[in-house]
Amino acid sequence: MLESKRILVAGDVMLDRYWFGEVNRISPEAPVPIVRVEKREERLGGAANVARNAAALGLHAGLLGVIGDDEAGNSVEHLLRQSGIDSYLSRDTAISTIIKLRVIGRQQQLLRIDFEEKPTEHVLQDKLSRFNALISEYDLIVLSDYAKGSLVNVVAMIAAAKAAGKPVLVDPKGSDFARYAGATMLTPNKAELRQVIGDWTSETELTEKAQTLRHQLSLDALLLTRSEEGMSLYTEHDVTHVPAMAREVYDVSGAGDTVIATMAASLASGMSMKDAVMLANRAGGIVVGKLGTATVSKEELFATA
């Protein structure tokens, strides 16, 4: 069973907003559907969704990031309190909180509108100082990079965590993974890995390229999430392929957050990497059957074991 451990999540914090409504006609002004909004929901997104998933699995989670000094930032803080997550968020008065607004009609996403600005330098420096002060209080570190500007100091953060003897799991972004060198594990999806190593024509070629990258970055492991193909774990001595769970995919939003949170929970509890990947794969298979950014409870996870 997963033990109650302390996990610190740092990265790009977002607020996910959902507007649900009925679609019964097309606009006379343009060939677009008219959605009559009947229900609104707010959920934690980005790095905050990773922390939410960790908390749902029974872990003591802390969240470090940047939000605006605005109403959306207040909503993020409120949702963190509801989930029992320790908030170490810095308020940046020069920006607005990142928001992803999704309009849902007839249980299908019709539109997504993003509101985002990069944090200012002085707030990011304060965030790094706070990170360094918090490391000793946590068992494992998760860095959730959505390329929104909150992890510009990721090199220093990984170095500090390593110096403190803490495992570091990173959900990476971008075409250059060099800044993540020295992390314990990276968890890219196929599109993210392809940006870095190029395409591959066979499983053998993929393994060679993935292992070369893992070695170059001095990673203990590289976990590739492959959608309908499951997951592949590359380590120094082994390659482990885990087939996807055979269940209907409803919404992949935030599935990577669930996977890395489950990996973090499992590894912090002393589970082997192979066993942790099996559990994370199961969690990912469950969460894609839910609408929007969602979580998996311990009861759901182990009921399917």
Active site residues: 257
Q: Confirm if 178 and 139 have CB atoms less than 8 A apart.
A: no
> At CA 121, angle to CA 120 and CA 125, rounded to 5?
125
- Which residue in this structure is represented by tokens 């311990």? 298
Q: Which residues contact 278 (CB under 8 A, 6 or more apart)?
A: 242
In the DSSP assignment, the letter for residue 69 is S
Closest CA to 247 of 300, 279, 286, 303: 286
Residue with structure tokens 């594990």?
185
How far is the CA of 297 from the CAs of 49, 62, 233, 258, 280, in angstroms?
Answer: 14, 18, 24, 11, 12
- Beta 168-171 vs 185-186: how paired, if at all? parallel
